[in-house]
């Protein structure tokens, strides 16, 4: 059966209201690799039968990259426009596909009038597994060595360290930790609007340094939970010509791989 | 009153007066910063201060330096009890005034002095290892470029002074111990200075008295000098660590400040009926930070609290991959510029434009644009300093006042503005992903 993706507007038109808003984010909407993660998140929501809506063409950048780059005007313009849309639909709960959207919506919107319960998709996965609504099995990942790369805006920025790891453990995979993990996690190099510019002059790319550390563990999979980390780590794996032996997958994609039908 | 009491009291009064004057100067400099509310959630603040400042919780992420630092910290605090006795002796011409605590069958005072010797030994040991780490084994974060010159000397001066001050204690105790043993007065041995006794046995009682006296004065003078050196040195962290952790940011690290001045402008743009509140004539409106006065008082307190340990820089992804940015240098620059502004005010009565600013003269755009805002520096800091907040405020000035963002970031801004995404994709295509199931 084809998966239904409905917008908030469509829900309202049909007289229903969704349980949760899925905030897709710009990378999840436009970046080809991140779009696969978006679809994996949708598969999970669909699998558990959760009534979710997206904003579709009414969604707009949260303003995160503008804010980190110092453009507070542009950030607040984006935030206030988004808040008008979100409050217009009386949105209560949001799940995001991106730690940057998650951080901004959760922490920086309330002072501008946007108060929502905001969770990241890895937290939703953990909630669903804990509640017994999402049943996963090892399958393709059983016994495979997976290392999880902490996203800064999930980890240090918001102290979400365990949810992504719990999902990996639920799959009976062999979770291997890099030397720098959790609070000590080493950035992929994309944060703070670096994603949108060339790196400053240095002697190494940040993502190469981080991927090198991950590859020392000889994992089958490098798990990420952020579309920007995904880009940086995938590029890093290509840099070392390891694409054939090491996959970079989002937690949502890994979970979809282990769904019990 | 004896001559020595008068000399002591003069020293005491002048050292204290100088210290108070310096402290007030630092306080004035910190208060040049903008207002920021940091006295809410008192319960949490006391707790975090107890854990992080008093309990050194974050130091223990790196156990070896943490243990050595604990020796120096605990030793320093406890030996102050002996210093208090020395102050009383100095003021009233007494000799070891607390020795009445040596009770028959329970020589408490001797035990106290003995345990202070053990702590003093641990302080000496810690400082010696720290000197080795800085000057011989050259631990990377302790020999980086930004420490060349004064910062390096500052660190060595502190460590050598502490060793000398402790050694004067040992020698003083050893000289007295030698005299006492000759007169069969002191039965108990002191754990460290007893080993110095054989070296002093050839010296007359008179000579030993002079040595003990000289060491006493050296110690007293050292303590007063150190007290005043603190305030002009990175070592001031021993005082400021406590308030700095108390007033630290308690919000999630990812939550950046929202600029209220911008909110008013944006509201006025979106809603023509909105009237922004009148501007405060005392504080000229500036978006972001050009100079230290544009930062908040807490950011300036952070700068005075920094003891240049470099944990931030050693965790910084930009720095570790050879970029110019060093979060420690951000803090050192902020303090240096604030000191310069302070001297300017001392000289002129108020700040007179010197054509310089924190942005540009001290911290360059290349440093600022290397930051990934990953919060590793904030996480690492044992006294909860936030270099990232300063970096972002300096970026805000570059972007909003100077329109000096890198070209690619300006393109990103344009895309967000026009398409609602950082890339040049049409907003109408935002839901296309659902057609590819």
- Each of the 437 residues of chain B gets a pLDDT tens digit; together they read 789 999 999 999 999 999 999 999 999 999 999 999 999 999 999 999 999 999 999 999 999 999 999 999 999 999 989 999 999 999 998 988 998 888 888 889 888 999 999 999 999 999 999 999 999 999 999 999 999 999 999 999 999 999 999 999 999 999 999 988 877 665 567 899 999 999 998 999 999 999 999 999 999 999 999 999 999 999 999 999 999 999 999 999 999 999 988 998 898 888 888 887 777 666 667 899 999 999 999 999 999 999 999 999 999 999 999 999 999 999 999 999 999 999 999 999 999 999 999 999 999 999 999 999 999 999 999 999 999 999 999 999 999 999 999 999 999 999 999 999 999 999 999 999 999 88
At residue B260, the pLDDT reads 87
Please indicate if any CB of chain B lies within 8 Å of the CB of A258: no
- Buried b vs exposed e over B58-81: b needs ≥16 C-beta within 10 Å? bbeeeeebbebbebbbebbebbee
Shortest distance between the Cα of A74 and any Cα of chain B, in A, equals: 7
| Chain A residues close to B376, C-beta within 8 Å | 152, 156, 184-187
Count contacts between A and B (CB, < 8 Å): 218
Contact A77 B409 (CB under 8 A): no
Shortest distance between the Cα of B340 and any Cα of chain A, in A, equals: 26
DSSP code per residue over A170-214:
HTT-EEE--SS-GGGPPP-S-TTTGGGSPPPS-SS-HHHHHHHHH
Please indicate if any CB of chain A lies within 8 Å of the CB of B412: yes
Contact A156 B317 (CB under 8 A): no
Q: Which of residues 89-108 of B touch A (CB under 8 A)?
A: none
Q: Which of residues 240-259 of B touch A (CB under 8 A)?
A: 251-256, 258-259
| Chain B residues close to A182, C-beta within 8 Å | none
The DSSP letter of residue A109 is S
Closest Cβ–Cβ partner in A71, A111, A152 for B399: A71
**Euclidean distance between CA atoms B307 and B69, whole angstroms:** 13
Closest chain B residue to the Cα of A38, Cα to Cα: B433
CATH number attached to the domain at B260-405: 1.10.1060
Closest chain A residue to the Cα of B265, Cα to Cα: A73
Q: Is A249 exposed, middle or buried (0-12, 13-18, 19+ CB in 10 A)?
A: buried
Q: B interface mutation test: which of A8, A56, A70, A159 has the most B CBs within 10 A?
A: A70
**Euclidean distance between CA atoms B70 and B198, whole angstroms:** 31
Contact A66 B412 (CB under 8 A): yes
Rg of chain B in Å (alpha carbons): 28
User: Tokens for B325?
Assistant: 């940015």
Shortest distance between the Cα of B103 and any Cα of chain A, in A, equals: 52
| Chain A residues close to B431, C-beta within 8 Å | 5, 7, 29, 54, 56-57
Shortest distance between the Cα of A184 and any Cα of chain B, in A, equals: 7
Please indicate if any CB of chain A lies within 8 Å of the CB of B422: yes
At residue A142, the pLDDT reads 86
Q: Return the H-helix or E-strand segment holding A125.
A: helix A121-130
Q: Which of residues 390-409 of B touch A (CB under 8 A)?
A: 392, 394-400, 405-406, 408-409
Closest CA to B326 of B134, B146, B142: B146
Q: Is B349 exposed, middle or buried (0-12, 13-18, 19+ CB in 10 A)?
A: exposed
Per the rule left: phi > 0, alpha: psi between -120 and 50, beta: everything else, B156 is: alpha
| pLDDT tier for residue A140 given thresholds of 50, 70 and 90 | confident
* Pairing between β-strand A174-176 and β-strand A145-148 as defined by DSSP bridges: parallel
SS (H, E, C) chain B: CCHHHHHHHHHHHHHHHHHHHHHHHHHHHHCCCECCCCCCCHHHHHHHHHHHHHCCHHHHHCHHHHHHHHHHHHHHHHHHHHHHHHHHHHHHCCCCHHHHHEECCEEHHHHHHHHHHHHHHHHHHHHHHHHHHHHCCCCHHHCCHHHCCHHHHHHHHHHHHHHHHHHHHHHHHHHHHHHHHHCCCCCCCCCCHHHHHHHHCCCCHHHHHHHHHHHHHHHHHHHHHHHHHHHCCHHHHHHHHHHHHHCCCCCCCCCCCCCHHHHHHHHHHHCCCCCCCCCCCCCCCCCCCCCHHHCEHHHHHHHHHCCCCCHHHHHCHHHHCCCCCCHHHHHHHHHHHHHHHHHHHHHHCCCCCCCCCHHHHHECHHHHCCCCCCCHHHHHCCCCCCHHHHHHHHHHHHHHHCCCCCHHHHHHHHHHHHHCCCCCCCHHHCCHHHHHC
At residue A143, the pLDDT reads 87
Closest chain B residue to the Cα of A82, Cα to Cα: B420
Closest CA to B256 of A63, A83, A96, A104: A104
B249 phi/psi in degrees, rounded to 5? -65, 130
Q: B interface mutation test: which of A192, A195, A207 has the most B CBs within 10 A?
A: A192
The DSSP letter of residue A54 is E
**Euclidean distance between CA atoms A148 and A69, whole angstroms:** 27
CA distances to A14, A17, A82, A111, B399 from B267, rounded to whole Å, are 34, 30, 14, 13, 20
- Tell me the pLDDT of chain A averaged across its residues: 96
Q: Extract long-range pairs of A242-249: CB within 8 Å, 24+ residues apart.
A: A242/A215, A245/A220, A246/A215, A246/A219, A246/A220, A246/A221, A246/A222, A247/A220, A247/A221, A247/A222, A248/A221, A248/A222, A248/A223, A248/A224, A249/A221, A249/A222, A249/A223, A249/A224
At residue B429, the pLDDT reads 96
Q: Which of residues 146-205 of A touch B (CB under 8 A)?
A: 152-153, 156-159, 183-187, 189-205
The DSSP letter of residue A134 is S
Please indicate if any CB of chain A lies within 8 Å of the CB of B274: no
Contact indicator for B332, A213 with CB cutoff of 8 Å: no
Closest Cβ–Cβ partner in A67, A156, A200 for B369: A200
Q: Which residue has the tokens 């510029």?
A: B337
Closest Cβ–Cβ partner in A28, A107, A201 for B255: A107
Q: Which domains does chain A have, with CATH numbers?
A: 6-126 (3.40.50.1860), 134-257 (3.40.50)
Per the DSSP assignment, residues forming a β-bridge with A250 are: A224
At residue B286, the pLDDT reads 86
> For A149-165, what is each residue's pLDDT tens digit?
999 999 999 999 999 99
Contact indicator for A67, B256 with CB cutoff of 8 Å: yes
Contact A200 B324 (CB under 8 A): yes
Closest chain A residue to the Cα of B414, Cα to Cα: A74
Closest chain A residue to the Cα of B288, Cα to Cα: A70
Angle at B366 between CA B324 and CA B338, to 5 degrees: 85
Closest chain A residue to the Cα of B417, Cα to Cα: A74
| Residue A91: pLDDT over 80 | yes
Contact A194 B372 (CB under 8 A): yes
| Residue A259: pLDDT over 70 | yes
Closest CA to B409 of B397, B420, B423, B419: B423
**Euclidean distance between CA atoms B152 and B325, whole angstroms:** 19
| Residue A211: pLDDT over 90 | yes
Contact indicator for A77, A66 with CB cutoff of 8 Å: no
Q: B interface mutation test: which of A8, A59, A64, A71 has the most B CBs within 10 A?
A: A71
Q: In 3-state terms, what secondary structure has residue A218?
A: coil
| Chain B residues close to A152, C-beta within 8 Å | 372-376
| Residue A1: pLDDT over 60 | no
Sequence-separated (6 or more) residues with CB below 8 Å from residue B37: none
At residue B289, the pLDDT reads 97
User: Tokens for B151?
Assistant: 């910062």
At residue B268, the pLDDT reads 87
> For A41-50, what is each residue's pLDDT tens digit?
999 999 999 9
Q: Which of residues 167-206 of B touch A (CB under 8 A)?
A: none
Sequence-separated (6 or more) residues with CB below 8 Å from residue A232: A188, A189, A190, A206, A207, A210, A211
Contact indicator for A147, B277 with CB cutoff of 8 Å: no
Q: A interface mutation test: which of B372, B389, B402, B428 has the most A CBs within 10 A?
A: B372
At residue A261, the pLDDT reads 63
Contact indicator for A27, A65 with CB cutoff of 8 Å: no
Q: Return the H-helix or E-strand segment holding A147.
A: strand A145-148
Q: What is the value of ipTM here, to two decimals? A: 0.96
**Euclidean distance between CA atoms A242 and A234, whole angstroms:** 10
Contact B366 A202 (CB under 8 A): no
Closest chain B residue to the Cα of A1, Cα to Cα: B437
């Amino acid at each position: 059966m084809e998966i239904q993706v409905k917008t908030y507007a469509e829900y309202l038109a049909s007289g229903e209201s969704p349980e949760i808003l899925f905030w897709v984010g710009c990378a999840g909407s436009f970046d080809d690799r991140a779009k696969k993660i978006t679809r994996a998140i949708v598969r999970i929501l669909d699998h558990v039968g959760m009534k979710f809506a997206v904003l579709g063409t009414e969604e707009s950048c949260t303003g995160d990259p503008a804010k980190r780059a110092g453009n507070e005007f542009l950030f607040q313009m984006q935030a206030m426009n988004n808040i008008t849309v979100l409050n217009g639909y009386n949105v209560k709960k949001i799940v995001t596909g991106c730690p940057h959207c998650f951080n901004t919506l959760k922490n920086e919107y309330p002072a501008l009038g946007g108060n929502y319960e905001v969770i990241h998709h890895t937290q939703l996965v953990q909630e669903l597994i804990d509640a017994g609504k999402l049943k996963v099995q090892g399958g393709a990942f059983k016994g495979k060595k997976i290392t999880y790369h902490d996203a800064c805006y999930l980890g240090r920025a918001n102290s979400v360290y365990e949810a992504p790891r719990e999902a990996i453990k639920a799959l009976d995979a062999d979770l291997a930790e890099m030397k720098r993990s959790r609070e000590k996690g080493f950035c992929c190099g994309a944060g703070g609007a670096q994603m949108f510019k060339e790196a400053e002059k240095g002697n190494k790319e940040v993502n190469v340094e981080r991927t090198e550390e991950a590859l020392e563990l000889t994992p089958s999979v490098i798990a990420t939970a952020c579309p920007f980390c995904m880009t940086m780590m995938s590029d890093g794996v290509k840099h070392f010509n390891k694409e054939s032996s090491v996959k970079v997958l989002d937690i949502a994609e890994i979970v979809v791989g282990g769904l019990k039908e | 009153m004896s001559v020595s009491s008068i000399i002591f009291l003069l020293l005491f009064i002048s050292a204290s007066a100088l210290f108070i004057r310096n402290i007030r100067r630092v306080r004035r400099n910190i208060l040049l910063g903008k207002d920021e509310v940091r006295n809410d959630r008192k319960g949490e603040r006391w707790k975090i201060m107890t854990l992080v400042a008093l309990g050194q919780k974050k130091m223990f992420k790196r156990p070896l330096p943490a243990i050595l630092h604990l020796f120096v910290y605990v030793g320093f605090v406890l030996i102050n009890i002996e210093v208090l006795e020395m102050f009383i002796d100095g003021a009233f011409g007494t000799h070891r005034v607390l020795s009445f605590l040596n009770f028959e069958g329970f020589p408490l005072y001797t035990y106290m002095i003995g345990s202070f010797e053990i702590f003093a030994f641990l302080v000496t040991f810690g400082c010696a290892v720290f000197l080795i780490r800085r000057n011989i084994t050259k631990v990377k974060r302790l020999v980086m470029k930004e420490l060349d010159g004064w910062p390096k000397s500052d660190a060595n001066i502190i460590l050598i002074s502490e060793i000398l001050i402790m050694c004067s204690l040992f020698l003083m105790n050893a000289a007295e111990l030698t005299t006492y043993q000759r007169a069969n007065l002191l039965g108990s041995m002191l754990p460290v200075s007893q080993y110095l006794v054989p070296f002093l046995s050839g010296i007359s009682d008179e000579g030993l008295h002079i040595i003990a006296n000289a060491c006493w004065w050296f110690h007293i003078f050292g303590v007063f000098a150190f007290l005043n050196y603190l305030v002009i040195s990175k070592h001031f962290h021993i005082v400021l660590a406590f308030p700095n952790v108390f007033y630290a940011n308690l919000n999630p690290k990812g939550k950046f400040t929202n600029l209220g001045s911008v909110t008013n402008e944006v509201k006025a743009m979106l809603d023509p009926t909105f009237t922004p509140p009148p501007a405060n004539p005392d504080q000229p409106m500036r978006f972001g930070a050009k100079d230290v006065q544009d930062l908040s008082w807490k950011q300036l307190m952070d700068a005075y609290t920094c003891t240049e340990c470099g944990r931030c820089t050693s965790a910084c992804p930009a720095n570790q991959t050879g970029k110019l940015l060093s979060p420690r240098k951000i803090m050192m620059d902020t303090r240096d510029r604030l000191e310069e502004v302070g001297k300017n005010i001392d000289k002129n009565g108020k700040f007179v434009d010197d054509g310089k600013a924190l942005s540009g003269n001290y911290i360059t755009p290349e440093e600022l644009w290397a930051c990934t805002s990953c919060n590793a520096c904030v996480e690492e800091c044992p006294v909860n300093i936030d270099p990232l907040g300063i970096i972002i405020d300096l970026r805000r000035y570059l972007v909003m006042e100077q329109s000096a963002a890198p070209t690619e970031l300006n393109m990103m801004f344009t895309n967000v503005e026009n398409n609602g995404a950082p890339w040049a994709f049409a907003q109408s295509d935002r839901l296309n992903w659902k057609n590819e199931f």
